[in-house]
Chains A and B, each alone.
Chain A
Protein backbone atom coordinates (compact mmCIF):
# COMPACT_ATOMS: atom_id res chain seq x y z
CA UNK A 1 0.00 0.00 0.00
CA UNK A 2 1.33 3.43 -0.93
CA UNK A 3 2.22 5.45 2.12
CA UNK A 4 3.97 8.65 3.18
CA UNK A 5 5.11 9.01 6.80
CA UNK A 6 6.63 12.10 8.38
CA UNK A 7 8.58 12.35 11.62
CA UNK A 8 8.68 13.78 14.13
CA UNK A 9 5.08 14.99 14.47
CA UNK A 10 6.30 18.08 16.30
CA UNK A 11 9.70 19.66 16.80
CA UNK A 12 10.72 22.48 19.09
CA UNK A 13 14.04 24.20 18.41
CA UNK A 14 15.88 27.14 19.80
CA UNK A 15 16.78 29.82 17.31
CA UNK A 16 20.01 28.77 15.62
CA UNK A 17 19.64 25.09 16.54
CA UNK A 18 19.86 23.09 13.30
CA UNK A 19 17.86 19.91 12.77
CA UNK A 20 16.24 17.67 10.16
CA UNK A 21 12.72 16.56 9.33
CA UNK A 22 12.11 13.14 7.83
CA UNK A 23 9.70 11.93 5.15
CA UNK A 24 9.71 8.21 4.38
CA UNK A 25 7.65 6.80 1.55
CA UNK A 26 6.61 3.44 0.20
CA UNK A 27 5.21 3.97 -3.27
CA UNK A 28 5.80 2.22 -6.53
CA UNK A 29 6.83 4.41 -9.39
CA UNK A 30 7.93 7.61 -7.67
CA UNK A 31 7.54 10.53 -10.06
CA UNK A 32 8.37 13.32 -7.68
CA UNK A 33 8.61 14.26 -4.01
CA UNK A 34 7.46 17.69 -2.88
CA UNK A 35 7.97 19.72 0.26
CA UNK A 36 5.44 22.34 1.30
CA UNK A 37 5.22 24.79 4.16
CA UNK A 38 1.87 25.55 5.77
CA UNK A 39 1.23 28.48 8.10
CA UNK A 40 -1.82 28.45 10.39
CA UNK A 41 -5.01 29.34 8.55
CA UNK A 42 -3.40 29.21 5.13
CA UNK A 43 -2.96 26.78 2.29
CA UNK A 44 0.31 24.91 1.79
CA UNK A 45 3.05 26.82 0.00
CA UNK A 46 5.47 25.04 -2.30
CA UNK A 47 9.14 24.75 -1.31
CA UNK A 48 10.91 22.05 -3.36
CA UNK A 49 10.50 19.25 -5.88
CA UNK A 50 12.92 16.31 -5.94
CA UNK A 51 12.81 13.76 -8.73
CA UNK A 52 15.52 11.18 -8.17
CA UNK A 53 17.70 9.68 -5.44
CA UNK A 54 20.75 11.77 -4.73
CA UNK A 55 19.12 15.03 -5.71
CA UNK A 56 19.41 18.05 -3.40
CA UNK A 57 17.71 21.45 -3.44
CA UNK A 58 18.40 24.50 -1.28
CA UNK A 59 16.52 27.64 -0.42
CA UNK A 60 17.80 30.01 2.23
CA UNK A 61 18.08 27.99 5.47
CA UNK A 62 16.36 24.92 4.00
CA UNK A 63 17.92 22.02 2.17
CA UNK A 64 15.99 19.01 0.87
CA UNK A 65 17.58 15.68 0.01
CA UNK A 66 16.18 12.48 -1.46
CA UNK A 67 17.11 8.80 -1.23
CA UNK A 68 15.26 5.78 -2.60
CA UNK A 69 13.18 5.46 0.57
CA UNK A 70 13.10 8.85 2.26
CA UNK A 71 13.65 12.56 2.07
CA UNK A 72 15.09 14.93 4.61
CA UNK A 73 14.43 18.61 5.08
CA UNK A 74 17.43 20.10 6.82
CA UNK A 75 16.99 23.42 8.60
CA UNK A 76 20.20 25.28 9.32
CA UNK A 77 20.25 27.95 12.03
CA UNK A 78 16.47 28.34 12.05
CA UNK A 79 14.72 31.58 12.92
CA UNK A 80 11.33 32.06 14.58
CA UNK A 81 9.81 32.87 11.19
CA UNK A 82 10.58 29.31 10.10
CA UNK A 83 7.90 28.10 12.52
CA UNK A 84 5.24 26.33 10.47
CA UNK A 85 4.01 22.88 9.55
CA UNK A 86 6.13 21.22 6.88
CA UNK A 87 4.35 18.77 4.61
CA UNK A 88 5.85 16.15 2.37
CA UNK A 89 3.96 14.95 -0.71
CA UNK A 90 4.62 12.23 -3.23
CA UNK A 91 3.50 11.84 -6.81
CA UNK A 92 3.46 8.19 -7.88
CA UNK A 93 2.66 6.37 -11.07
CA UNK A 94 -0.72 4.68 -10.79
CA UNK A 95 -2.35 2.23 -13.17
CA UNK A 96 -3.79 4.78 -15.55
CA UNK A 97 -2.90 8.06 -13.98
CA UNK A 98 -0.68 9.74 -11.40
CA UNK A 99 -1.50 9.41 -7.71
CA UNK A 100 -0.80 11.99 -5.03
CA UNK A 101 -0.20 11.42 -1.33
CA UNK A 102 0.54 13.85 1.49
CA UNK A 103 2.19 13.07 4.79
CA UNK A 104 0.65 14.25 8.05
CA UNK A 105 3.29 16.93 8.52
CA UNK A 106 5.86 18.06 11.07
CA UNK A 107 4.92 21.06 13.17
CA UNK A 108 8.06 23.11 13.75
CA UNK A 109 8.27 25.69 16.52
CA UNK A 110 11.41 27.83 16.69
CA UNK A 111 11.84 29.76 19.92
CA UNK A 112 13.83 33.02 19.99
Chain B
Protein backbone atom coordinates (compact mmCIF):
# COMPACT_ATOMS: atom_id res chain seq x y z
CA UNK B 1 0.00 0.00 0.00
CA UNK B 2 1.25 3.48 -0.84
CA UNK B 3 0.18 4.88 2.50
CA UNK B 4 -1.80 8.07 2.99
CA UNK B 5 -1.39 10.35 0.00
CA UNK B 6 -1.66 14.12 0.26
CA UNK B 7 -1.55 16.77 -2.41
CA UNK B 8 -0.15 19.22 -3.03
CA UNK B 9 2.99 18.82 -0.91
CA UNK B 10 3.60 22.55 -0.95
CA UNK B 11 1.20 25.41 -1.57
CA UNK B 12 2.01 29.10 -1.66
CA UNK B 13 -0.91 31.44 -2.10
CA UNK B 14 -1.92 35.00 -1.45
CA UNK B 15 -4.23 36.17 1.27
CA UNK B 16 -7.86 35.95 0.22
CA UNK B 17 -7.40 33.07 -2.19
CA UNK B 18 -9.15 29.73 -1.87
CA UNK B 19 -6.99 26.76 -0.93
CA UNK B 20 -7.95 23.11 -1.33
CA UNK B 21 -5.91 20.33 0.23
CA UNK B 22 -6.50 16.73 -0.78
CA UNK B 23 -6.09 13.40 0.91
CA UNK B 24 -6.38 9.77 -0.12
CA UNK B 25 -6.51 7.48 2.93
CA UNK B 26 -5.24 3.94 3.12
CA UNK B 27 -7.71 1.58 1.51
CA UNK B 28 -9.98 -0.12 4.03
CA UNK B 29 -9.46 2.42 6.79
CA UNK B 30 -12.67 3.63 8.40
CA UNK B 31 -11.41 6.83 10.01
CA UNK B 32 -9.86 9.93 8.46
CA UNK B 33 -8.35 12.81 10.39
CA UNK B 34 -7.20 16.30 9.42
CA UNK B 35 -4.54 17.98 11.58
CA UNK B 36 -2.72 21.30 11.51
CA UNK B 37 0.83 21.64 12.89
CA UNK B 38 2.59 24.89 13.77
CA UNK B 39 5.56 25.68 15.98
CA UNK B 40 3.38 27.71 18.33
CA UNK B 41 0.42 25.35 18.73
CA UNK B 42 1.85 21.95 17.89
CA UNK B 43 -0.38 19.33 16.30
CA UNK B 44 -4.08 20.20 16.43
CA UNK B 45 -6.95 17.97 15.38
CA UNK B 46 -9.26 19.88 13.06
CA UNK B 47 -11.88 17.27 12.17
CA UNK B 48 -12.30 13.54 11.83
CA UNK B 49 -14.62 11.31 9.83
CA UNK B 50 -15.93 7.82 10.40
CA UNK B 51 -17.17 6.01 7.30
CA UNK B 52 -17.24 9.33 5.43
CA UNK B 53 -19.39 11.04 8.10
CA UNK B 54 -17.91 13.98 10.08
CA UNK B 55 -17.83 13.06 13.76
CA UNK B 56 -15.98 15.86 15.56
CA UNK B 57 -15.34 19.19 13.88
CA UNK B 58 -14.83 21.17 17.07
CA UNK B 59 -11.23 21.83 16.11
CA UNK B 60 -12.09 23.64 12.89
CA UNK B 61 -10.91 27.19 13.63
CA UNK B 62 -13.69 29.12 11.95
CA UNK B 63 -16.18 29.14 9.12
CA UNK B 64 -13.44 29.76 6.60
CA UNK B 65 -12.47 26.12 7.00
CA UNK B 66 -14.54 23.26 5.60
CA UNK B 67 -13.88 19.57 5.06
CA UNK B 68 -15.63 16.96 2.99
CA UNK B 69 -15.33 13.26 2.42
CA UNK B 70 -17.46 12.36 -0.60
CA UNK B 71 -16.31 8.74 -0.62
CA UNK B 72 -14.08 6.34 1.27
CA UNK B 73 -11.01 7.12 -0.81
CA UNK B 74 -10.96 10.91 -0.91
CA UNK B 75 -11.21 13.91 1.36
CA UNK B 76 -10.65 17.64 0.98
CA UNK B 77 -9.91 20.47 3.38
CA UNK B 78 -10.79 23.88 2.01
CA UNK B 79 -9.86 27.30 3.30
CA UNK B 80 -11.77 30.23 1.85
CA UNK B 81 -10.62 32.95 2.10
CA UNK B 82 -7.11 32.12 3.27
CA UNK B 83 -5.20 34.32 5.73
CA UNK B 84 -1.48 34.48 6.66
CA UNK B 85 -2.25 32.92 10.07
CA UNK B 86 -3.40 29.78 8.26
CA UNK B 87 0.21 29.08 7.27
CA UNK B 88 1.08 25.67 8.70
CA UNK B 89 1.68 22.06 7.77
CA UNK B 90 -1.60 20.20 7.31
CA UNK B 91 -1.60 16.46 7.87
CA UNK B 92 -4.14 13.88 6.92
CA UNK B 93 -4.20 10.56 8.77
CA UNK B 94 -6.28 7.41 8.52
CA UNK B 95 -6.98 4.60 10.92
CA UNK B 96 -8.66 1.23 10.70
CA UNK B 97 -11.61 0.30 12.84
CA UNK B 98 -10.55 -1.45 16.01
CA UNK B 99 -12.49 -4.25 17.62
CA UNK B 100 -15.44 -3.27 19.78
CA UNK B 101 -17.40 -0.85 17.62
CA UNK B 102 -16.78 2.82 18.23
CA UNK B 103 -13.59 2.42 20.21
CA UNK B 104 -10.69 3.63 18.13
CA UNK B 105 -7.79 1.76 19.59
CA UNK B 106 -5.63 1.53 16.54
CA UNK B 107 -2.86 3.82 15.52
CA UNK B 108 -3.21 6.56 12.96
CA UNK B 109 -1.18 6.49 9.77
CA UNK B 110 -0.11 9.95 8.74
CA UNK B 111 0.51 11.33 5.29
CA UNK B 112 3.57 13.42 4.43
CA UNK B 113 1.69 16.69 4.95
CA UNK B 114 1.00 19.80 2.89
CA UNK B 115 3.06 22.85 3.76
CA UNK B 116 0.81 25.87 3.24
CA UNK B 117 2.18 29.39 3.07
CA UNK B 118 -0.26 32.27 2.81
CA UNK B 119 1.39 35.55 1.88
Residues of A within 8 A of B (CB): 31-32, 34, 42-46, 49, 51, 87, 91, 94, 97-105
Q: How many residues of B are counted as interface, with CB atoms below 8 angstroms from the partner's CB atoms?
A: 24
Residues of B within 8 A of A (CB): 4, 33, 35, 42-45, 48, 55-56, 91, 93, 102-113
Determine the distance from Cα of A102 to Cα of B38 in the docked complex, in whole angstroms: 13
**Given A31-B105, A34-B107; A102-B42 close (CB under 8 Å):** yes
Please classify the interface of chain A as helix (H, G, I), strand (E, B), loop, or mixed, using the class held by over half of its residues: strand
Please classify the interface of chain B as helix (H, G, I), strand (E, B), loop, or mixed, using the class held by over half of its residues: strand
Chain A residue at smallest Cβ distance from B95: A46
Determine the distance from Cα of A104 to Cα of B44 in the docked complex, in whole angstroms: 9
* B108 engages A46 (CB within 8 Å): yes
* B103 engages A102 (CB within 8 Å): no
Option from B43, B56, B104 in Cβ contact (under 8 Å) with A102: B43
Contacts of B45 in A (CB 8 A): 100-102
B87–chain A nearest beta-carbon distance, Å: 16
* B56 engages A42 (CB within 8 Å): no
**Given A49-B105, A87-B43; A43-B48 close (CB under 8 Å):** no
